Amino acid sequence: MQAQTSANDEHRHEVAVQYVPSFPAAIEPIATALFGALVRPSGPLDAGFAVSVAGEKLSVPYRIRLDPERLRATLSTAAGDVRLLALCLGTRDYDGYVREDCLGKLTGVEYPWVVPFVVALLGDYVNDIAERAAAALEAVNPALLDALARDNPAFVATTQSRAASYWGHYYRQRRYWRCRDYPPYALLQRIVRRVRGSGGSDAASSGAHR
């Protein structure tokens, strides 16, 4: 009986610490429905980014595996927040082509809860995705980007570090000799400088790469 109790306790502990995504209250029911409809079971989810959006937590898996047919059907019939969130989830897919396609279709970036999904792609290892995300964010109201950076300095620092790392590993000898010229990194650096200049958190990023 004691051994059985110990096994049950261990199982409860595993369940307790298993990662669970979190979304702002306004889109939580939509997220629950979309996860159930689109996400293929592939074992436990790994934590991705976690940010505060207008005081609410948004925590998204690092990668998910979406059913491509169901995703296409959802995008062809859904509208409003359902379609936007489906596209946002698509930017977390394992398949880079799916991530890039969903990013290309993602409109309404001005929504505060959409912005982190696009910013996270600045740290994608696929150059075309990262640069496309940078181009999309150039058209976003800077106040939204600054608010995200001010409230989530660790998220911005991690994303910028990834952008710098992928630049150094893949693109340093190809297109951009200096990290500061790599569009995803350069955009994040401008955001960090604006936030610092306005008296915001100085923990977002340490120094600039040359």
Q: Is residue 103 part of a domain?
A: yes
Q: Is residue 52 part of a domain?
A: yes
Q: What is the pTM of this model?
A: 0.85
Q: Is residue 202 part of a domain?
A: no
Give the SS3 label for residue 8: helix
Q: Is residue 204 part of a domain?
A: no
In this predicted model, what pLDDT tens digit does every residue of 26-44 receive, in sequence order? Answer: 999 999 999 999 998 877 7
The domain tally of the chain equals 1
| 202/96 Cα distance (integer angstroms) | 33
In this model, does residue 125 exceed pLDDT 50? yes
Q: Average the pLDDT over 147-168 and give the result.
A: 94
**Residue 170 carries which DSSP code?**
I
Report the relative pairing of strands 56-61 and 47-53 from DSSP bridges: antiparallel
Write the CA distances from 153 to 34, 91, 160, 161, 200, integer angstroms.
29, 22, 10, 12, 9
User: Residue 157 belongs to what domain range?
Assistant: 2-197
205 neighbors 156 (Cβ within 8 angstroms): yes
In this predicted model, what pLDDT tens digit does every residue of 53-97 receive, in sequence order? Answer: 999 999 999 999 999 999 999 999 999 999 999 999 999 999 999
pLDDT of amino acid 111: 92
Q: Is residue 206 part of a domain?
A: no
pLDDT of amino acid 200: 64
What DSSP line would sit under 14-73, residue for residue?
HHHHS---B--TTTHHHHHHHHHHHBPP-SSPPEEEEEEETTEEEEEES-B-B-HHHHHH
In this predicted model, what pLDDT tens digit does every residue of 168-199 receive, in sequence order? Answer: 877 665 677 888 889 999 999 999 999 988 77
Which token pair is 168? 């150094």
Amino acid at site 53: V
Q: Is residue 150 part of a domain?
A: yes
Q: Is residue 209 part of a domain?
A: no
Q: Is residue 143 part of a domain?
A: yes
